[in-house]
A = this chain, B = another copy of it.
């Protein structure tokens, strides 16, 4: 029989008792940030459950990990603590269990309508890397800039290519994004210009949230990598294509990316995603032994990006993709990141890179969707090549279960005009 909560959860909700994603919220502007889980339209305050001694298992009963302004301490505890928390919460929230269900005063305090709290970045992010793990995205970018003959650089098939991103400018869903200014360079020998980006784009991504880290000099084995992964979030790696194109040789993207990166507030755990696992695409050539996994899996997560064009009210879906399209798995990404001895810390973030599918209506960014501005997209009586001031971009993603969804909620941001 399907697990049910005493809390009413609409069948379309992203947050049934089967999900229980973690976030950090504030009740009021001056409140302390506290960890919570999403259940239906509510946020459950974990600090209050902990104070009520309801986390009574061996890993959590003596921990103050839920009395913190972020989830890092909980992430550091690792899978045994995460499993214990999930079992405890599913029990406390289940329709059959009376402890919380019949405690009106605790329920009143611990369950808040999601619409009444402010969500914050759930983690303190020490380092953020961004991978390039979708073959369709790599191919499309290559065709645009180098032609179909050499679309994908030879190293791509051997290395989960990535770059170090900027941690300071990672923001929570709902934060406005100011159009960046910077240098662009038209074709030919002309001089660079300076001004507001003329090719502002989004990138539809997800990101791995790291749990326990590893010591400097001690790589994580690819078959152990899943134990270092707490869960996934949606991520919008906002990108200024004109700035990026002029700056990226030879050291990679820098200011074209570092002005903002948006995360969805709820971290969906690998435990909740496990039933949606499926085999990752065949890799050819066979990866080097340090990347060869016993079990190579992706998750069947439907992703979609919409735009509410400036001055309009309705969102228009402009792409539908799926996490399953990733060529390099998140466990391969993590193992690669550490193979040189690089240390991970709890709360580190590993972006997947733009998740494009094989079909033109599954491409994960405007660069690909508009083919570098050559094919405007029509939406709501207007059209777009790149983002305009006032546009709002909204990502969503979910897994379809039998009678429920395990979803990520939304990841959104609105473009504000550049500084004068």
Contact = CB atoms under 8 A, between A and B. Distances in A.
A259 B194 CA distance: 36
A240 interface: yes
A209 to B, nearest CB: 15
A155 interface: yes
A173 to B, nearest CB: 15
A126 interface: yes
Nearest to A290: B194
Interface in A214-261: 216-219, 240, 243, 246-256, 258-260
A394 B419 CA distance: 45
Nearest to A258: B342
Number of copies: 2
Interface residues of A, number: 63
Contacts of A337: 255, 258
Contacts of A251: 132, 161-163, 248, 252-253
Given A162-B254, A164-B166, A248-B250, 8 more contacts: A155-B185, A159-B183, A161-B251, A168-B343, A178-B216, A194-B289, A216-B260, A260-B341
Interface of A: 126-127, 129, 132, 153, 155, 158-159, 161-169, 171, 178, 180-183, 185, 191-192, 194, 213, 216-219, 240, 243, 246-256, 258-260, 285, 288-290, 336-337, 339-345, 348, 419
Q: Which 3 A-B pairs have the closest CB atoms?
A: A252-B252, A180-B340, A164-B164
